Each structure stands twice: as C-alpha cells, then as structure tokens.
Chain A
C-alpha cells in the first residue's frame, strides 16, 4: 500500500524553518546588507536633558579625512523644516519627536548630529570632535517628585466606575491600601537598531533595510517626512534580532539614514550603540495605589486601582494598566484611575505585555496580601472571586480555561505543600517560599492580508509584510500554509518583511499568529477553491458533481472519496497555467466583537532567600497557559520560557537608573543594566491546557508572545514574602530590600 505523507503540521513541534540559516549566519539581518558605496553614520547624542544647543561646531569633524558630512539642526533641508508630518501609526497623542529639527533638547541622549564617513571608525572618531555648547535648563525625571503634575489629559479613560467602591471599601471586613512601584525597563534586544537607506536619484525612491517590527509603519513614517508616495518607499526587514516592542515605532536612526542617503546620494548605514539603545522607548516608570476590600466569605467587595505612569514632555504615552483590575475578578464595586506624569525623558514605548505586566503586578500582589489578611489560601481566594464574564465590557469570554490552568499548575508544582506562615520553610541559611499569580493578556486579531502563489512545480509561496522578531513567524506560517493546503512543508516558502507584500500589522500585541496566521489559512483555502475549479475542468472524470468540501487536499494532491487523485502540479500543467495566484485581506468577525478575548495563565514559583545575605534565587517556576490552539508546541514553549526569564529579571533585577540631577541613564550597558542571565533561570515548567475557541479567529489560536511574562514578578514577590515575611512593593526586589537586620 502506498503510504501517504502526513501534511498536518499544526499542533506539531516542528523545528524552525530558518534555524539553519540563523546558526550558520546565512540569515541576513538589516544591518548586514552591503550595497555598493555604503557609508556609515554615527549619531552624536545630547548630554543634557533639558535646554538648548547654543552652538554646535562641526568644523573639526568635517576636516577629518574620510568624513563626508555632519548633519545637525543647522543644515537640515528646508523641505524637512517646513514639514510637520513625523507621525507613525503607533504615535500616541502629542507631537512626535523630530530628530535634528531645531536647537531644543527634550531629553538626555537625544540625537543632535549625525556624522557620515567612509568608515564606521572614522565616523565614530569624528563624532567625538563635534563640539556642542548648551544652555542647560533644570530637569526632572523622577515621577514621584512630579506627582503634582499628574494629568488625565490625552489619557484613554479606563472603564467606568461600577457600584460604589469607596463605600464598599469602608464596610469591608478585610482591607488593603498600599502602593506598588516599578522603575523604567529597557527592551535591549540583542540586535541594536539599524537602518541602511539607499536613495535612487533617478526614480526619486528609497529602498531601506530597517530593524523594525513592521515594515509598513516605517514606510508611512518616511513617506510623511519626505513627502513621497508609497510606491517610492520600499522597506525591507527579513530578519529581526529581537524586538520586544522596541521596534514598534520607527526610530531616529531610520530618519537619519534616509536624510543622509538622500542628501549625499550614497547608501548610508546608521546603527545605534548599546548606550543609544537606552535613548528611546522603554517601559515607563509607574507607581500604583491598590485599595482592596473583601468580606468574611472571601468575596471581593471593592477594588480601587490608581496608576501614575511616566510620559515625556511631548507625547502622552498610554497603556492599559488599571483595566485588568476590573476584569480579572468578580467584583461589583470598582473604581479605576490612570494618570500620566510628564518628565524630561524620551517617550516610553510598548514593551512585552505593556501595561499588563505593570497593572497585574500590583493587582496580583494585592490579591496575595488581601488573601493573607483574610487568612485564605491565595489560590482559593482567586477561585472564590473567579470572573465568568468580563464586567468591564459586560461581555462573555470567547473562551477562558483559567480554572484548568490553576489546577494544572497547582498539581504539578505541589501548591498544597505551601505553608502559609512566612519563614516556616528553611534549609540551612536558606528561607524557602512559594508564591503564585494569575496572568492575563489580550487575544487580539488585526486586519491582515496575505498572498498565495502556487506554481506548476507544485511549490507554494505565501507572503505577507509581517515580521519574525525571533518568535517563529516563518515557521508557524509555513506550518499553517502547508497544513491548510495539504502539502509538504518543504514545498512551501513563507516570505515576510517587505512593503511590496500584502500588508500585515506590526508584530506586537501577540497578534501575529491569530491575525496573519488566519489570513494565511483563509488565503490558502481560497487557493484550494481556485485549484479545485481548475481540477474539475481538466479531470472531470474524477471530480464530476463534487464540491470543494467533498474532496481532500493532502500530500500535494486533490483526491475524491474513492481515492482517485491528481497532483497540484499536474492540474496546473494540464491546464497550461504556470501559476495560480490569490490574495486576501482578513478582518476580525462580528461574532468576535461580541466577546472578550483573552489568554490566561497561572504562575507558581519557589524562591530561595539567603537569610543573612539576602540573595534571592528562583529554583522553580511552573506556568500553565490557556492560549487557545497551540500551532507549534516548540516555538510556543520557547516564547513562554523567554517570557518567564523576563519576569525573573523584572522581579529581581531590571532597573534603568536615571540620575535625577541630569536626567542621564547611568547604567546604559549590558554589564550594569541587570537582566536575568542563565544562572538566574533554573527549572522552568510550561503547560498548555486544552482550550477550544471558535470565536477568537479562524485558527482558534490566541498568541503567546506576552502572556508568559504577566504575573511572574507578582508570583516571585509573593513567594519572597512567604519566604521572609518581608513585603517588597518596590521593584526590583534587590537583596538589600529583604534584609531584616
């Protein structure tokens, strides 16, 4: 008997299709292209946070052999000065930052000049020869000191109040009224931001390789600034060495590379240094007041959550910090408030689970504190207050298997072995603590387009302008296309990261699989239909009176019920068609609008704290995730493992240290900006619980890039309390904060 090849790849732990390319160096990242005549730009950054440039002397730099030009606000082309459209699709309210626009300094580390030279080394050396004189005005970057300036202007209002939270709080049996805070976090992908811009003078058109999480936004940005039509700006970004949100908005190196390339008519590469990677977009500093009340039966009586987030003086960066508190648990009396505090910093930017990690940190620590207050097991407390519907929006969930997550995590972790009394578990000098938290993240679907081309050799090429920021987009889309089409993965190529392809949203918000993946599935079904129509024409004897639903597509063949089949390639060849091509744009369906779509998780951790020395380690983390259909368990687990490591860093280490005297970041390097290293990451255990969802999108998959991080910092903080009896509400939980002597 002939064995049929199984072309069902969805749900299987398939290896990355670009894995070999990546480990052999064959994957070309944006900064690695070498167009002929390439020259190099090096950015000069401001050393003050607020004031004006009174003089900028570039003569020494320009005199250096090999230097082509030094761009500053003094020689910015008139056309760009009169243009005000520097916005990008993700720009928050306010005025976007315009590099080299004028002499005003808005934040420390602001780009104030670009030196372009024949080599990187010459450009870097020349950058040191640019002499800048400033008028220094007072600056302040500390959000707590600036609380009086908090504003609700340009803030997306959180969900309306329900009930009377203050009244319910007053009469509650158990109460909590505390403040949590966290510092700035920086994305720090391994690959620094880089752009290579090539200007075609005859065509008046740009080709730009850009490190970005979505090429279309860079295109919009460049078109706006240089007043060009979309056809004249092609952005490519085939591989991205990590993003975490840092590539969600076009950054200044893109503008500078384009400016220089056009002015000099030479291809220009501008790469940021590691220090400069700390000079744009970060997770904002935030402090939050959490006021909770519960009654004797353990039911939440009142939730009041107020958050103060950081923003710049020129844009109002918003994120959903407090909304989670109205969503996670059943409660009739809720009051949510979110305000912004502008300081002399660059504008914050979405960073892995923006808002969610922050707000859920406060909520999940608060829940732990209140459970302890009420003498109820923290897991039991969450079950008592389980929300069966979204009370913020008054909608049912498309699916919510959070109870399964609680159960799976508790079972595997051994939650029942937790002793609720702090400092009760000890081995030698080591205090042992258990902690848990719930995680939650949005399951978005965005409008996305994809194109499928089947050639007469039976090869399928699917494309969409999306990105692969290390998440496995290439692999997962290939799996979806191959499975849907019924064809071997080796016969499929997925292409991305090019504005000439059908438009996809930015890769962010964990929506790529659900949005682009759904578009890929639907375009492949469309292709099948067209192919089937053709098959009926060339092989009426096999497919007579049959409809699309009556035949199967497997192993590169269309078969009828009695097993007679014809290969894709034969169909095309016999129909004398070289290729079949189709495109589709998919938008979320109405049914989805009627529901709330979220991913959920339960995180349990064990921490060890050295009683005398304060050092904290996390020997064990269990994370159980309800994320809908899992397309590839391998890349999925990968996302969660990485996100847990991020959570450990957030809980114990990460802090952008901005000196309030000068608004400068003092630890702008990977040695002093501590994030989790291998030694921090020990036994991580990930489970995906069964979750069926027909509503969320045609794939039933929810996206997993961010959920793994939400709740980790709270679980660790709660475990540290269980170990030590010390409640640290101010991240990161460094060892000095848990010392009790």
Chain B
C-alpha cells in the first residue's frame, strides 16, 4: 500500500472540486473494493476522499412513481427497503445473491456500480494486464479464463463486470445521476459501463471529476413476473459465472414486455433491447424463450476454459424466463 492523504468531505461541491483539481484522487465509500485494490497496489491514489458523510443515503419515492436510491445507501439497506422489496423484488434478489451479509452492510450503491473486475490477473501486479497497465498485455487470454467474458470482448481484455446489482438495474432500465464540475447529468444504465475495446483501463463513462449521486428506478418494477438466477461455483459468497435477470409483462400467455439482462458474461451487464423488442406480442413459450436466448447470445465466443458459459448462458436465460413466467 502506498502513502496517501485522507480527506473527509462534508459537502458534494467540495468533493467534486478536489476530484477535479487533484489528480490521482479516489473517492471512498464502503471501501470494500477500493481498500483491497490499494492493498494489492492495483490502485495507488495519492489521496482518498471519504464521501460517506455526504447526504446521499436516502431512498425515496419520486413524483413520477419511480424510486430514487441514494448513491451512499448500502446494498443491504437497498435490498431490505420495503419499496424495493415490493416494487422491485428483482433488484432485492440480485443484491442479496451477491457477496456476504457483512460486505453488503458496508457496500454502497455507488461503489457497486464502480466495482472493478475480479479477473485474477488484474489483482496481481506481478502479471501483465492491459486494464491495470495499458499496453502490458492480457494474461487471461492464455491463462485462467474460466470466469471471463464471452460477449463484447476485445483482444485487449476479456474481463467481466462482476456486479449482481447492476444486472437487475439493467433489466429495470435504471438511470444513474451524476454530478461534476460541468453540473448534473443522467446516464442510462446501459451506457454507464463500457466494453473494453482498446481502452480496457476505462470501465465506465463516468468522467474523472464526476460523482454518482443516485440511481433512479422507473415506475415499472415487474414485480409480478421476474427472476434472478445466479449460477456460481458455490451457493454463497461467489461471483456469478452467469447470472440472468429476467422480467416479463404478460397478457395471458402473450409477452407484452420482456427484459433479459446477463451478468458474468461481458465487460458490462449485457442486454440486447432489440432482441427483446422482436419477441413482444409473441407467446411466452419455452421455444420462444430459447429463441430469444439465441438472439441475445449471438456472436458469443469462449476462450477455452470458459466455452461452457455459452450454452450455460442459454440454459440460464430460459430457466430465468420460465421462473419469471411461473412466479
């Protein structure tokens, strides 16, 4: 761990100011990811700005019927919030399938969006990694890549985004509110995270002087027909190999609306709205679920030890849609 300065910020404007002016500053919220990365010397900020005193903890209903989740609300408080439980059970379920109770008590919503990949090589400074050290190479391509991506990869990086929460947020079409020196803006969740391309060092489209203030959920919560299925190597305290958030709006057996978001398969939560679109108005049958899965997974490629994820993802999508339908 390097020597760093610690600032406890009392107001948002000031935090943004410091972020803007002082290079190599990092925000710290729950610290459950940043502290590990600092101990492993993957992140070496010169100063850390503790934002936990900012008033971004609240979860409240907006006038448009949606819900606002404060960036500093913890994952646990979000999952056990009664409005979330009732209106957005898919989000509650996704959050509770992640990490451990202790971690969820500390982890914040903003931090969850910003958490970095769990690629083994990214965490180990003794190995080449383009995400950590651009241009050094990607060790995972020929190394342990069983947990790596099958969609949207590049020759520079095949890492995945590890979050469960973000998969549900993607299915719900959430938006992320951020504030920087240029003021406030809102980023749709699907545009928040990036694909690796030739800049794998950039996980998200958040600018270096911006802070996430909250996450907005639209009114429609799919609380009657939803599922979150997480496939992992042990029944708790493991990241997803493949996870699927599926939501259905049914009219009898006909699909009015369908959402399918995947975790553990790409550098960002994976969703293909155009595939979903083409199944609206069709019957909610096992066969159509399979076809939709094929659509979504078009172009999926493995790197050896993660080849199994392609077929597994298909099965998981079908399972999640079936569960959502039968709920």
Contacts and interface: CB of A to CB of B under 8 A. Distances in A.
Interface of A: 47, 121, 124-125, 128, 429, 612-615, 617, 652-653, 657, 659, 661-662, 664, 666-667, 671-672, 674, 676-680, 734-736, 739, 741
6 contacts: A613-B231, A614-B231, A664-B126, A672-B120, A679-B236, A735-B241
B311 A741 contact: yes
A741 B312 CA distance: 9
B280 interface: no
Query: Which of A613, A657, A676 counts the most chain B CB atoms within 10 A?
Result: A613
A107 B233 CA distance: 29
Contact of B234 (A124, A128, A652): A652
A659 B234 contact: no
A741 B231 contact: no
A47 B146 contact: no
Contacts of B41: 128
A653 B232 CA distance: 11
Interface stretch (B16-24, B67-75, B136-144, B267-275): B136-144
Which range holds the interface residue count of chain B?
Answer: 20 to 34
Contact of A661 (B142, B146, B233, B311): B142
A680 B235 contact: yes
A615 B233 CA distance: 7
Contacts of B64: none
B151 to A, nearest CB: 18
By Cβ-Cβ distance, the 8 closest A-B pairs, closest first, are A47-B126, A666-B120, A679-B236, A679-B235, A736-B308, A612-B315, A613-B231, A677-B237
Classify the secondary structure of B's interface with A. Answer: loop
B35 interface: no
Given A679-B237, A735-B312, 8 more contacts: A124-B1, A615-B231, A653-B234, A659-B143, A672-B118, A677-B237, A679-B236, A736-B146
B126 A615 contact: no
Contacts of B234: 652-653, 674, 676-677, 679-680
A664 B124 contact: yes
B1 A666 contact: no
B236 to A, nearest CB: 4
A555 to B, nearest CB: 48
Given A657-B144, A659-B139, A429 B319 contact: yes
A525 to B, nearest CB: 49
B2 A128 contact: yes
B238 interface: yes
A121 B4 CA distance: 12
A739 B312 contact: yes
Contact of B235 (A615, A659, A672, A739): A615
Contacts of A672: 118, 120
Contact of B127 (A128, A662, A677, A739): A662
A646 B24 CA distance: 44
B14 interface: no
A612 B238 CA distance: 19
A741 B307 CA distance: 12
Contact of A667 (B120, B139, B231, B235): B120
B144 A659 contact: yes
Contacts of B238: 674
A558 to B, nearest CB: 55
A677 B236 contact: yes
Given A659-B143, A679-B235, A613 B312 contact: yes
Interface string B224-263: 0000010111111110010000000000000000000000
Given A666-B121, A677-B234, A677-B237, A736 B312 contact: yes
B316 interface: yes
Given A429-B319, A659-B143, A661-B143, A739 B233 contact: no
